[in-house]
Structure 1
Amino acid sequence: EEYLFDAEDAADRFRVPTANRILETAEKILNDTEKVIENMYSELDDLLDSEKQSRKIAEEVVPHIRSLRNLLLQDLYAYGSAEARFEEEINKCQLKLEHFYYETEQGNYYEAHQIITNLQQELNDLEERLETFPAIYRQCKIELPDQIHQLKNGIEQMKADGYQIEHHNFQKELRDLEEQLSVYVTRIEEQDDQTVFDFVATIDERISEIYHILEEESKARNYVDKHLQNFEKLIEEVVDEFKLTDEEVTELQKTYYLEGSDLELYENLEKWIHQLERQHMKIKQDLADEQQTYTALKDELETNYQDLQKLKEAHQEFKEQISTIRKDEIEAKEKITVLKRDLFEVNRHIEKSNLPGIPSFIWNQMDDASEKCERVLEKLAEEPLDMGQVSHCLNEATSSVETLIKQTETMMEQAYLIERIIQYANRYRSQYPVLSARLSEAEKLFRECQYEQSLEIASESLEEVEPGALRRLEVKINVKIPS
């Protein structure tokens, strides 16, 4: 109003600029005041809304406190000594509720709202702890101690039954766990401790592990009781079989020479059998002395079974190996008979060939093949028979005879081709003096048993006067002419 009066006074005095400035100031003040009033209304609305929300939460909190108290009273034994601290927490929540009502009556709606929302969260947290406590408390106080007690009794019974499990030191470990459980029971009765959940899980897992170890020990005992005698029977069978093999080897050595590798394998088999016998006796002694766990004995017995199987396979392989010695001798005799027959056939074929002569390298190769065949027969007649030497000499003889056959066949083909080429080329002799001279040279080499050189000269000479003649001649006589 004061600004308005000043503006009116300035206008009356015709002081227009001053009046305008005063009016602008007054307008700004009015706008600011209007904003303040709007903010006050907004805060009032928020306050009223907060009070409304608080009343709604309080309506939920009251029965919530009552339900938690009932939950606690329904089974006080489930909470043990912790019942007192939970009751105290509920009472504190009740006091906070009363404080909420007091602040509300005093008009401190914001403070009251903060109290009731915090209280609601505390009650939710308390409810969760009240619901989870009985189970974890029962585990620590009753269930796990009972399980440990039963496990300790089971361990003592297994020890009485002859199980060697002292080295695990389970009894001390379980006593320590019992003491830790007792400490945790006292601790969670006095205050919340989230580490108890991890501890309980660890104990539960460890109990399962111990049961598993004991179960495996029991299974191992059943395995040892069931398979130990059977293994002894199997190794006796192997020993008996090896005695037969030993007798067979003794007989073989009278007739055959055994390779060093064969004898080494035989000696290793014998050592292997003795080693398995010693290992078996050790298991029996450990079992009698009660110094080993059944799990360890089972592992040793399983290893022995695997070794025994490998021994039987090696023994069978050795028997098959020595059994082939006689068969190899028979096959060698049959093979040398065939080679001797091949030599005879080659010689007969040469004699019937009507060739002007036989190159010296053919006779040399025949002599070499004959000598090597005789060498095989000499080796077969030796005692003891060394099949290694026989096989070596037989391979040499086979190679020599095969070389002789190939050389002889080549010589025969060359001689046949020379005759056919010269017969074919004779038609040109009168026309081509050079050809005639070359053919005469080829005929001379043919008579001197130089069939390869003769064939080369005859072929080249014919091809010079009639290109393609050799190829046509090949087709006609169905023989490949060397180029």
Structure 2
Amino acid sequence: MRYVIIPIIVLIIMTVIAFLFRRKHISEIEKLENEKLQIQHKPILEEMTKVKQLNMTGETEEKFERWRNEWTDVMDVHMPKIDSLLFDVEDMVDRFRFRKATETEKLIQDKIRYCDKKMNEILHELNELVGSEEKNRIEIEQLKEQHRAARKTVLAHQHSFGMTANPLEKELESFNPKFAEYDELTAHGNYLQAREIVISLTEKGTRLFGLIHDIPALLTDLQNKIPSSIRELRNGSREMEEQGYYLQHLELNKHLDQIEQEIEGLLKKMADLEIEAVQEQAHDINDRIDSFYDALENEVNAKRYVDVNFDGLAELLSSVTTLTKDTSNEAAYVQQSYRLDEKEAHIPQTSLKKLEQLENRFGLLYERVEGGGSAYSSLQQEMQDITSELEQISEEQEVFANRLKNLRIDELNVRTQLEELNRRLQNTERKLQKGNIPGIPDEMEARLEEADEQLYIVSQSLQETPLNMNLVHTYLGDAEKAVADVTERVEELLENVMLIEWIIQYGNRYRATHPETHNRLLDAEESFRQFRYNKALEEAATAVEDVEPGAMKKIEELVKEQV
């Protein structure tokens, strides 16, 4: 039975595999058939019909014949061959010759790709030719219209184009032979060659028509506006010099002469139609002329500044000098009572030296203002520099003067703080004495003495002459820290003493029933009598907590309520 079943199973499996392969190949054949149909349906004939409407001579005729031959070759030779191969591969699949079918399918795919490539090339060249003809026709009409308008403009407004009129006419004349060549090529069906002419003329026309638009304004700028500005600058500078302005530092005439020479060269470039270079240089010249106007305006504004502010600067110099001398005298008086650090002590003298230098500069400035021969912009800058330095010195003196005034206030504040610290320390000692404790630990006595010593140091530093407030503040800081520390520790000590008493009282309930707890409480009481309060607290708390876990939390809450 086994020998019968196994072959049957193998046969069934092979049959299933064969049908699966057959289905795969049938799908591939359908795909190849669709690709072949897509090639056949490409609109080659429709596009070739469009070409027939053109002049079928020359280049167009040659290309048309080639395209028709290639299309005929694809449709009459390659397509029938593909149909035959597709029929063969279907037969192979029906007979389960899958390996041979695969090879044939690959051959069909290669032929389809070849045909598709050929058809696409024909379509591309057809579209290029037809498109070129349409583009040429539209663009050449636009170029001819622009060319006519440009010639009309140049002829009607020759005065606006000056020396560029003849070169422009020659450039425009050069279009005519190209127009004639275009017409001839188009008449003979050479549309692609005609396309090259259209592209070349378009590039040339874009530049030339742009020049025709720009040249009149550029010539007006070079021949009228800039020369007018030059004359205006020369006259304006001459009038300002007659009114007392010093303008030699601007070297205006030298720069204007140079610009006039540049304009002569630019006009020659205009005749050669080097318009782009001329435009760039003309823009630079206009920028320089604007800078000359700005320089003259700056001198006018500077003169106004000098006239308005010169007397005020003299008054400011006098007032800052007086302020600095008063501050110097005040500092000398204050230093009899207070010690200043080295940097602060030298502020008045340093400022007086700076003021001496500024007085010398102001004297030179006064001579320049009265004597003339200096640019007002230079005088303004010097005045502004002197004013800035005077304002800085004035600010330094005001800050220093306030510092001197605050020294006495600072001393009084320190004395008040010292009194307050003394009171806090006395209250702490009094509280400790009234705390009803067996005694004061040596460490606490040492801290109290240290705080008292720090307060004494502050008091002694306030007796020195001259008084060094920086040092006093250092001592005061140490004293504040010592008093705060001892106050905190006394509070902690008194709280611990109260807590020990409550713990022992709470633990008394276990003395009779728990001998060990009784003995440990006795040890805590002994430590308490020896002023070892931290140890007593630890011993009592441990004894009670061991016999009643959580007891310390209850006791602490009772103490908080009591407090």
Q: TM-score, normalised by structure 2?
A: 0.62
Query: Out of 192, 205, 225, which is 2:307 matched to?
Result: 225
With over 3 angstroms needed to count, the CA separation of the structure-2 counterparts of 1:236 and 1:436, relative to structure 1, is same
Following the alignment from structure 2 to structure 1, what is the Cα–Cα distance between the partners of residues 216 and 448? 107
Q: Which residue of 2 aligns with 1:3?
A: none
Q: Which residue of 1 aligns with 2:514?
A: 432
Q: Which residue of 2 aligns with 1:395?
A: 477
With over 3 angstroms needed to count, the CA separation of the structure-2 counterparts of 1:179 and 1:439, relative to structure 1, is closer
Q: Which residue of 2 aligns with 1:175?
A: 257
Tell me by how many angstroms 1:124 deviates.
12
- Within the alignment, does 1:211 sit opposite 2:293 as a pair? yes
Report the residue type matching 1:323 in the other structure. K
Residues 425-446 of structure 1, C-alpha deviations (whole Å, 9 max, x = no match): 1121122222222111111111
Q: Which residue of 2 aligns with 1:308?
A: 390
**Identical counterparts, % of pairs:** 26
RMSD across aligned positions (CA): 4.3
With over 3 angstroms needed to count, the CA separation of the structure-2 counterparts of 1:207 and 1:433, relative to structure 1, is same
Larger CA deviation: 211-220 vs 132-141: 132-141
Kept in 1: contact 2:151–2:169 (CA 8 A): no
Kept in 1: contact 2:447–2:486 (CA 8 A): yes
Query: Out of 152, 156, 162, which is 1:71 matched to?
Result: 156
Tell me by how many angstroms 1:70 deviates.
7.0
Following the alignment from structure 1 to structure 2, what is the Cα–Cα distance between the partners of residues 453 and 275? 75
Larger CA deviation: 297-306 vs 459-468: 297-306
Q: Which residue of 2 aligns with 1:472?
A: 554
Q: Which residue of 1 aligns with 2:426?
A: 344
1:91-102 alignment, distance < 5 Å? none
Tell me by how many angstroms 1:448 deviates.
1.3
With over 3 angstroms needed to count, the CA separation of the structure-2 counterparts of 1:284 and 1:426, relative to structure 1, is same
Tell me by how many angstroms 1:356 deviates.
1.8
Secondary structure, counterpart of 2:245 in structure 1? coil
Tell me by how many angstroms 1:69 deviates.
9.3
- Within the alignment, does 1:459 sit opposite 2:544 as a pair? no
Kept in 2: contact 1:368–1:400 (CA 8 A): yes
Report the residue type matching 1:71 in the other structure. A
Q: Which residue of 1 aligns with 2:460?
A: 378
Report the residue type matching 2:515 in the other structure. P
Following the alignment from structure 1 to structure 2, what is the Cα–Cα distance between the partners of residues 180 and 200? 9
Following the alignment from structure 1 to structure 2, what is the Cα–Cα distance between the partners of residues 374 and 65? 106
Number of positions where the alignment pairs a residue of Structure 1 with one of Structure 2: 412
Report the residue type matching 2:409 in the other structure. K
Query: Out of 218, 233, 243, which is 1:151 matched to?
Result: 233
With over 3 angstroms needed to count, the CA separation of the structure-2 counterparts of 1:237 and 1:87, relative to structure 1, is closer
Q: Which residue of 1 aligns with 2:86?
A: none
Query: Out of 416, 436, 450, which is 1:354 matched to?
Result: 436
- Within the alignment, does 1:258 sit opposite 2:340 as a pair? yes
Tell me by how many angstroms 1:457 deviates.
0.8
Tell me by how many angstroms 1:154 deviates.
1.8
Report the residue type matching 2:293 in the other structure. Y
Tell me by how many angstroms 1:279 deviates.
3.9
1:12-411 alignment, distance < 5 Å? 71=156, 136-182=218-264, 184-185=266-267, 192-194=273-275, 195-288=277-370, 290=372, 292-411=374-493
Residues 406-426 of structure 1, C-alpha deviations (whole Å, 9 max, x = no match): 222222122211111111111
Larger CA deviation: 193-202 vs 404-413: 193-202
Q: Which residue of 2 aligns with 1:12?
A: none
Larger CA deviation: 279-288 vs 328-337: 279-288
Tell me by how many angstroms 1:316 deviates.
2.7
Larger CA deviation: 363-372 vs 289-298: 289-298
Following the alignment from structure 2 to structure 1, what is the Cα–Cα distance between the partners of residues 161 and 498? 119
Following the alignment from structure 1 to structure 2, what is the Cα–Cα distance between the partners of residues 64 and 432? 128
Following the alignment from structure 1 to structure 2, what is the Cα–Cα distance between the partners of residues 182 and 145? 11
Larger CA deviation: 250-259 vs 141-150: 141-150
Tell me by how many angstroms 1:334 deviates.
0.8
Tell me by how many angstroms 1:470 deviates.
1.0
Kept in 2: contact 1:141–1:182 (CA 8 A): no
Following the alignment from structure 2 to structure 1, what is the Cα–Cα distance between the partners of residues 154 and 409? 99
Following the alignment from structure 1 to structure 2, what is the Cα–Cα distance between the partners of residues 124 and 466? 107
Following the alignment from structure 1 to structure 2, what is the Cα–Cα distance between the partners of residues 383 and 200? 79
Following the alignment from structure 1 to structure 2, what is the Cα–Cα distance between the partners of residues 409 and 124? 98
Secondary structure, counterpart of 2:231 in structure 1? helix
With over 3 angstroms needed to count, the CA separation of the structure-2 counterparts of 1:132 and 1:337, relative to structure 1, is closer
Secondary structure, counterpart of 2:465 in structure 1? coil
Kept in 2: contact 1:474–1:480 (CA 8 A): no
With over 3 angstroms needed to count, the CA separation of the structure-2 counterparts of 1:151 and 1:459, relative to structure 1, is same
With over 3 angstroms needed to count, the CA separation of the structure-2 counterparts of 1:473 and 1:183, relative to structure 1, is closer
Kept in 2: contact 1:336–1:394 (CA 8 A): yes
With over 3 angstroms needed to count, the CA separation of the structure-2 counterparts of 1:267 and 1:459, relative to structure 1, is farther
With over 3 angstroms needed to count, the CA separation of the structure-2 counterparts of 1:124 and 1:345, relative to structure 1, is closer
With over 3 angstroms needed to count, the CA separation of the structure-2 counterparts of 1:480 and 1:231, relative to structure 1, is farther
Residues 357-410 of structure 1, C-alpha deviations (whole Å, 9 max, x = no match): 111122222222222222222221222112122212222222222222122222
With over 3 angstroms needed to count, the CA separation of the structure-2 counterparts of 1:144 and 1:347, relative to structure 1, is closer
With over 3 angstroms needed to count, the CA separation of the structure-2 counterparts of 1:141 and 1:429, relative to structure 1, is closer
Report the residue type matching 2:248 in the other structure. E
With over 3 angstroms needed to count, the CA separation of the structure-2 counterparts of 1:397 and 1:65, relative to structure 1, is closer
Tell me by how many angstroms 1:469 deviates.
1.0
Kept in 2: contact 1:68–1:127 (CA 8 A): no
Kept in 2: contact 1:256–1:387 (CA 8 A): yes
Report the residue type matching 2:413 in the other structure. E
Q: TM-score, normalised by structure 1?
A: 0.71
Following the alignment from structure 1 to structure 2, what is the Cα–Cα distance between the partners of residues 302 and 187? 47
Report the residue type matching 2:553 in the other structure. R
With over 3 angstroms needed to count, the CA separation of the structure-2 counterparts of 1:433 and 1:153, relative to structure 1, is same
Tell me by how many angstroms 1:223 deviates.
1.9
